[in-house]
């Protein structure tokens, strides 16, 4: 877990002090999307390969679906709020 946060913090520092050109930034976005899709694929493969998890899917059913939908909705709202705050801060010249 520490490695994950260290990578995130390093990325924030690099992004803040070494801004990427627009083309490189767009490429980084595409790489991030591809990596996320690969992560989801491998998670699906792992779940599908686990007989115990697959056997419990009918029992988990709606609770698991609601949990997943809540996590997705929460993520969307958090990103939207963060993006709006970032844009507002940038328009004000970096002042909060």
With 70 as the cut, is the pLDDT of residue 95 above it? Answer: no
Please indicate, yes or no, whether residues 82 and 40 belong to a single structural domain of this protein.
no
pTM of the model: 0.55
Residues sharing a CB contact under 8 Å with residue 20, sequence separation 6 or more, in sequence order: 28
Please indicate, yes or no, whether residues 45 and 65 belong to a single structural domain of this protein.
no
For a pLDDT cut of 90, what percent of the chain falls above it? 31
Which residue stretches of the chain are H helix? 2-17, 22-49, 51-91
Please indicate, yes or no, whether residues 4 and 34 belong to a single structural domain of this protein.
yes
What digits encode the pLDDT tens for the residues 16-46? Answer: 898 888 888 889 889 989 999 999 899 989 9
Domain span at 11: 1-49
Q: Span 51-68, mean pLDDT?
A: 84
89 touches 96 (CB < 8 A): yes
How many domains, the chain?
A: 2
Residues sharing a CB contact under 8 Å with residue 95, sequence separation 6 or more, in sequence order: 89
Instruction: Determine the pLDDT at residue 94.
Output: 57
More confident residue, 64 or 17: 17
pLDDT band at 49 (very low <50, low <70, confident <90, very high): very high
User: Is residue 54 in a domain?
Assistant: no
């Amino acid at each position: 877990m520490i490695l994950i946060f260290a990578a995130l913090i390093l990325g924030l520092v690099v992004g803040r002090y070494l801004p990427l050109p627009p083309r490189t930034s767009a490429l980084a976005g595409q790489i991030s999307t591809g990596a996320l899709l690969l992560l989801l694929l491998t998670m699906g493969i792992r779940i599908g390969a686990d007989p115990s998890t697959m056997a419990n899917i009918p029992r988990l059913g709606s609770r698991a679906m609601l949990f997943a939908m809540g996590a997705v909705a929460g993520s969307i709202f958090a990103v939207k709020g963060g993006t709006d705050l970032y844009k507002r801060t940038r328009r004000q010249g970096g002042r909060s």
